Structure 1
Amino acid sequence: MKTRMKEYRAKHDLTQLDLAKVVGVRRETISFLEKGEYNPSLKMAVKISRYFGIGVEEMFLFEEDELD
């Protein structure tokens, strides 16, 4: 799964640590999410998306084969 977290963090001048504190996770979790090495829970995905004022579908981009 691809994510636009890094792009949105940059727009809001946030570090991975800043976002991790908002979401309530470790900085490493944000790093893994940004690299596509970890899929967030629905709760985490909603929390991140709401923080930036966008929908989950705009923040997290699913490939068609990932939905099968």
Structure 2
Amino acid sequence: MRNDIRERRAETGESQADLAASVGVTRQSINAIERGRYDPSLELAFALADHFDCRIEDLFDPEPDEG
């Protein structure tokens, strides 16, 4: 799943640790989400969207099917 969390975080000047603390997860979780290695739970996706004052659909976009 693609996301633009890194870009939004950069726009706000937040570190991964800052964002993690704001949404109640570890910095490693934020890193894994940004790198596309971990898809957040629905609860975390809502928390991230709330943090950035946007919709979940604005943050996350499923990759198109390859086939």
Common fold by TM > 0.5: yes
Compute the TM-score of the two structures, normalised by the length of structure 2.
Answer: 0.92
Equivalent residue pairs, number: 65
RMSD: 0.7
Query: Is the counterpart of residue 25 in structure 1 residue 32 in structure 2?
Result: no
Letter of the 1:12 partner, please give it. T
From the two aligned structures, give the one with the greater helix fraction. 1
TM-score computed with the length of structure 1 as normaliser: 0.91
- The percent identity for this pair of structures is 38
Distance 1:52 1:17 in 2: 15
Structure 1 residue runs of 4+, over 3 Å off?
Answer: none
